[in-house]
């Protein structure tokens, strides 16, 4: 989901995959956060925003998310089903 219209330093994308949500900032290989983005990242108290620069970064993110899903399950709904 694109968050670009929110502006004010908010990350570019919110990605959900297998019950995990990640905020992504998309930059070129040498792109830097602007001051509003830096401030937003400092104020954010959730998981760190992932900065994606290359296709390899996307592949690494998916691999890491897949590992988490395999280790901990697909999310709260799945966990509640096993505890009921």
Q: Indicate whether 72 pLDDT > 80.
A: no
Count of structural domains, the chain: 1
d(CA 23, CA 48): 8
Residues whose CB is less than 8 angstroms from the CB of residue 75 and which lie 6 or more positions away in sequence, other chains included: 18, 19, 20
Supply the pLDDT for residue 75: 60
Instruction: Quote the domain boundaries for residue 68.
Output: 4-83
Supply the pLDDT for residue 74: 65
**What's the pLDDT band for 38 if we cut at 50, 70, 90?**
very high
**Residues 2 and 25 sit within 8 Å (Cβ to Cβ):** no
Residues whose CB is less than 8 angstroms from the CB of residue 48 and which lie 6 or more positions away in sequence, other chains included: 41
Q: What is the CATH number of the domain that holds 8?
A: 3.40.1350.10
Q: How, if at all, do strands 20-26 and 13-17 pair?
A: antiparallel
The tens digit of pLDDT for each residue in 14-29 reads 998 888 889 999 999 8
Q: What percent of the chain has pLDDT over 90?
A: 54
**pTM, to two decimals:** 0.75
């Amino acid at each position: 989901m694109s968050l670009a219209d929110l502006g004010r330093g908010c990350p570019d994308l919110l990605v959900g995959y297998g019950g995990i949500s990640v905020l992504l900032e998309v930059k070129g290989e040498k792109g830097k956060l602007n001051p509003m983005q830096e401030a937003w990242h400092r104020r954010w108290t959730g998981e760190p925003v992932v900065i994606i620069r290359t296709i390899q970064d996307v592949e690494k993110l998916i691999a890491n998310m897949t590992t988490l899903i395999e280790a901990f399950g697909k999310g709260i709904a799945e966990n509640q089903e096993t505890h009921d």
